[in-house]
Amino acid sequence: MENIGIVLALLGAALAALMAGIGSAIGVGKAGEAAAGVLSEDPSKFGKILVLQLLPGTQGIYGLLIAFLTMTKIGVLAGDSNLSWQQGALYFCACLPIAIVGLVSAIAQAKASVASIGMVAKKPEQFGKAMILPAMVETYAILALLISLLAVSGVSSLNL
C-alpha cells in the first residue's frame, strides 16, 4: 500500500481528537450533572459552578489542536501529502501522548471538578481553593500536549 504513511499519520491525528474529545465529553458531562444538582438549589452560584464544569473540556481542545497541527504538517489541508510509512508511524506516535493522557486526565479532572462543585455548594467563599484542585490535574494534560506538540513539530525535520 503506497499511502500507508498518510494513513498512519491521519490515524494518529484522529485518535488525538477522538480520545481527548471523548474524555472531555465524559468529564464535562459528569461535572454538569453535579452542577445541575447544586444549581437546582442555588442558581446564584452559576458563574462559579460553570467554570468548574468547563475545566475537563480543555483536553478535547488540546487533542483538536494536535490533530490540526498534524494535518497541516503532513500536507492534508493543502491537498499535497507524500509521506513514507516511517514518517507516518512517527506522526502516529507523536499524537499518542495527548490522545491517551487527554482521555484519562479529562475523566480524572471531572472527578476533582465534581468534588469542587460540592465544596462550592457548601462554602462558596472557597471557590479559589476549589478551582485549584481540578486545575492540578490539568498540569498533566498540558505536559502531554507539550510532548505531542514538540514531537509533531519535530518529525518533519527528521531525515527518513
Supply the pLDDT for residue 1.
65
Instruction: List, for residues 46-66, the tens digit of each pLDDT value.
Output: 999 999 999 999 999 999 999
Summary mean pLDDT of the chain: 94
With contact defined as beta carbons under 8 Å apart, do 145 and 98 qualify? yes
- Max alpha carbon distance in the chain (Å)? 61
pTM of the full structure: 0.92
Alpha-carbon gap, residue 39 to 50, rounded angstroms: 10
The mean per-residue pLDDT over the stretch 74-84 comes to 83
Check pLDDT > 80 for residue 159.
no
Domains, the chain, with CATH or none: 3-154 (1.20.120.610)
Residue 120: pLDDT band by 50, 70, 90 thresholds?
Answer: very high
Alpha-carbon gap, residue 115 to 26, rounded angstroms: 16
Check pLDDT > 80 for residue 122.
yes
